[in-house]
Structure formats: C-alpha cells, structure tokens
Structure 1
Amino acid sequence: MQEIMQFVSRHPILSIAWVGLLAAVIVTTLKGLTSKVKVITRSQVTHLINKEDAVVVDLRQRDDFRKGHITNAVNLLPTEIKSGSFGELDKHKSRPVIVVDASGMNAQESAALLTKAGFERVMVLKEGIAGWSGENLPLVRGK
C-alpha cells in the first residue's frame, strides 16, 4: 500500500488517467449489461435471419449500401430513425431487428431509438459490415 501511495504522489497525472480509464471501463461494461439492445455475432445474425425471419436495418449512406449489403436489408439513415420515419420497417415491430453500420461502432444509438419506438427485439451486429465481409459472408450489390 505504501508503494501505491508513493506512486500516486510522484505521478499524479498518470494516476488520474488510470482512475479515469478504469471508471470508463466500468461504466461501459455496466451499460452493456443493462442495455435492452444486445450486440450479437455474425453466426447469431444468420440464425436469426434464417430461422426467425429477422429484419436487417443498414444505417450506412445510400452509396455504401448499394456497393454491398446483407440480403433483404432495409436502408435507413440514423437521421431518419431520429425523426421517427421508419418507412416499411414500421410493420415489423414484433420481428427481430438487427441494426448494422459500417464498423459496429455507431449503431447503438439508433438501436436504442428503435427500442424506444416499440420494436420488441433490437440487436446490433458486432463489427458491422466490415466484420461481415471480413468473414466472406454474402453481400448483395445494387438496389
């Protein structure tokens, strides 16, 4: 304990940074555990699409969507979700909804908004389309 106190007194900036990082990790972990939106793997996505008729919502820009997307995916921009205009997705509130973006980093907010809008089962694809195509899983071009 004495050594820790000496380290803290000699390196206050490093100590504050360490405490801040620890707090960020704890908060992020707790948010993930208590969130209604779960992050799922590519194998779970294929299972949900094939067995439970899940709907995939792709959040990428239209040009990126046309370059390659998961089969039967619906292209909605995050701004459309924020404004509450879900289009054809609105009739699928009881089906599983999988939210996909380019890397899996920005889909949580849109997924949380879908949950608040009454969608029952909303999930996010881990690593997004980058992970999907990295595993050589099929992408559809056009549309």
Structure 2
Amino acid sequence: MEQYIEFIGNNAVLSIIWLALVAMIVMSWFKSKFSAIRQINPQQLTLLVNKEEGQVVDIRPAKEFNAGRIAGAVQLSAEKAKQSDFAGLEKFKSKPIILVCTTGMTANGIANNASKAGFEHVYVLSGGMGAWQNANLPVATGK
C-alpha cells in the first residue's frame, strides 16, 4: 500500500489523468445503460416494427428517401427534427420510433430532441441505411 501512495505522490499528474479516465469510462457506461435512446441493429429494428408496432422515421433528404428506404418508413426532414418539429408523429409518442439516417450519426442528435419532445421509446439504427443495405434487407423505392 505504501508503494501506491509513494507512486501517486511521485506521479501526481499521471494519477490525476488515470482517475479522470476511469471516471469518464464509468460515466459513459452509466449514460449508455440509463439513456432513453438505444442503438439497435437491423434485426432488432425488424423485431420492433413487427412485434411492437414500431415506426421507422427516415431523416434523410427526400431524394435519398425516394431512392431507397425501409418499407413503411415515414420521411421527416432533418431540419425539422433538429428544431424539434415532429408534427405528424404525435400518435407514436408511446410506441417505439426508430430514427434512420445515412450512417447513424445524424440520428443520434435528433434522437435526443425526440426524447425531449416526449417520445418514450427512441431508437437509432446503428450504421443507418448503410447497415440496413449491408444486411441485404429489402429496400422500397419511389414516392
């Protein structure tokens, strides 16, 4: 034990950095465990839609949405979602909504807005449409 105390005394900066890293890891773990927003894969998305009446909300631009989307998805512009304008989606507040973008990055920020707007079960498709297509799952096209 004396060696630890001596080490900490001789390497105060290193010890502080180590403690900070441990604290950040613990905080990150707690945040992920108790966050209202969950990352899901394409198979989990399919289960949510089929078993829990989940709604897929695609936040990509209309051109990308029309070129290929998950069947049954509704399109909501990212600009509206960033302003917490979820008009037309109020009926899904107590059901799972799954946000989809191109890579899964944009959807994370919008998921926070959806959660703050009162949506109880918010999910993000990890990897976005790229993950969906890489899993060779069906894509609907057209308007």
Q: TM-score range by the shorter chain?
A: 0.7 to 0.9
- In structure 2, the partner of 1:4 is none
- In structure 2, the partner of 1:87 is 87
1:51 CA drift (Å): 1.2
Structure 2 counterpart of 1:117, which letter? A
- In structure 1, the partner of 2:101 is 101
Aligned mates of 2:30, 2:93 — CA distance in 1 = 27
Aligned mates of 1:68, 1:60 — CA distance in 2 = 10
Aligned mates of 2:75, 2:129 — CA distance in 1 = 13
Which has the greater radius of gyration?
2
Deviations 1:45-100 (A, max 9, x none): 10111111110011111111111000111111222013232232122111110011
- In structure 2, the partner of 1:39 is 39
Partner-residue secondary structure (3-state), 1:38: strand
- In structure 2, the partner of 1:7 is none
**TM-score (norm. length: structure 1):** 0.78
Structure 1 counterpart of 2:52, which letter? E
When residues 34 and 137 of structure 1 are mapped into structure 2, their CA distance, relative to the original with a 3 A threshold, is same
**TM-score (norm. length: structure 2):** 0.78
Structure 1 consecutive aligned stretches of length 4 or more whose deviation exceeds 2 Å: 18-34, 82-85
When residues 90 and 29 of structure 1 are mapped into structure 2, their CA distance, relative to the original with a 3 A threshold, is same
Give me the identity figure in percent.
Answer: 40
Conserved in 1, the CA contact under 8 Å of 2:55 and 2:96? yes
Conserved in 2, the CA contact under 8 Å of 1:74 and 1:89? no
Q: Which runs of 5+ in 1 are unaligned?
A: 1-17
When residues 68 and 21 of structure 1 are mapped into structure 2, their CA distance, relative to the original with a 3 A threshold, is farther
Partner-residue secondary structure (3-state), 2:70: coil
When residues 82 and 134 of structure 1 are mapped into structure 2, their CA distance, relative to the original with a 3 A threshold, is same
Q: Which runs of 5+ in 2 are unaligned?
A: 1-17
Number of equivalences: 142
